[in-house]
Amino acid sequence: MPELPFLEVLAENLAASVSGRRIDALDVRQPALLMQAEPSPESFVGEFVSFPRRMGKYLVFETESCRVIVLHLMRFGRITVAPAGRRAAAVARGGSGEAPTPRNVSARIRFDDRSELRLIEHGTEKKARLWLADDVDSIPELGRLGPDPSRGELTLERFLESVHAAPRQLKTLLTDSAAVSGIGNGLSDEILFEAKLSPMKRTDQIDDAETARLHAAVLGVVERQVSLLRASAAGKLPKKEPVEHYAVHDHRGEPCPRCGTPIAWVSYADRDTFYCPGCQTGGVPLKDRRLSKLLK
């Protein structure tokens, strides 16, 4: 699932294509995508779009009237922009400029320059979500987001509140959007590796020094990953999570860049977790709880 760095850079690089453009059509082609019936997609026609922005793991497109189009890509959703040039050239040749829309396009926004922003969902599961709202405050999911580590909102004091709120595993804490906004599976692995903490360690088992180290790791890893992806994307729209920028996530069996121990992997709570046994768990491998259940 796209996380904070991916969506931050996506919003930045979308700006050149959509900011200041007038909406000529908003077509929702996957009925389950739309989360409410009002306002209607047709009511956005004629509105001008301002700069896109990220809120947590959501993309927000605000119009001149402060109404919003909000997208959550979930795991397989991606954004592309079909350029105006091809359609304009077809019109110039006497055609309609209407190329067949790919079947995996769940929604599209057509602009006044004949370009299209498209939400594409790969695979058979269509889980992306779209909200059309009169203002951003009317979307409950956005109101439940916690402090954003890239916006200066995640102070040590606020982080301590989340740590002490309830006993739970550190990875569960980091991926709770009400505790820390925008962090998912990949970033949480990188943060815990940076902090030299086990993903299975509980919040009631870490001392103040470890908590401060974990907080610093959140801020440092997020800033570094945004910078790396911004540089590698070079103004283009990112298409996949930047595994090549990660130290441990999705690098099972490769040597740890810090101590050389092979990176290990465990499946737990329906997610894959990557970690270094040498740096994070004192040389003790974590038990694969999913496998344990199957063997019972």
Q: CA 214, CA 254: separation in Å to the nearest integer?
A: 24
| CA distances for 12 relative to 4, 8, 244, 268, angstroms | 12, 6, 21, 34
pTM above 0.85, yes or no: yes
For the record, the structure tokens of 159 come out as 């982080």
Q: Are residues 21 and 120 in the same domain?
A: yes
Q: Are residues 32 and 133 in the same domain?
A: yes
List the CATH number of the domain containing 41: 3.20.190.10
Whether 278 maps to a domain, the answer reads yes
Structural domains counted in the chain: 2
Alpha helices in the chain (DSSP H): 4-18, 84-92, 140-143, 156-165, 170-174, 185-195, 208-233, 277-280, 289-295
List the CATH number of the domain containing 195: 1.10.8.50
Domain that holds residue 11: 4-143
Q: What is the signed CA dihedral for 202, 205, 208, 214, rounded to 10 degrees?
A: -30
Whether 269 maps to a domain, the answer reads yes
pLDDT per residue as tens, the chain (296 positions): 899 999 999 999 999 999 999 999 999 998 899 998 899 999 999 999 999 999 999 999 999 999 999 999 998 899 999 998 655 555 555 555 556 778 889 999 999 999 999 999 987 778 999 999 999 999 999 999 999 999 999 999 999 999 999 999 999 999 999 999 999 999 999 999 999 999 999 999 999 999 999 999 999 999 999 999 999 999 999 988 889 999 999 999 999 999 999 999 998 767 899 999 999 999 999 987 655 443 33
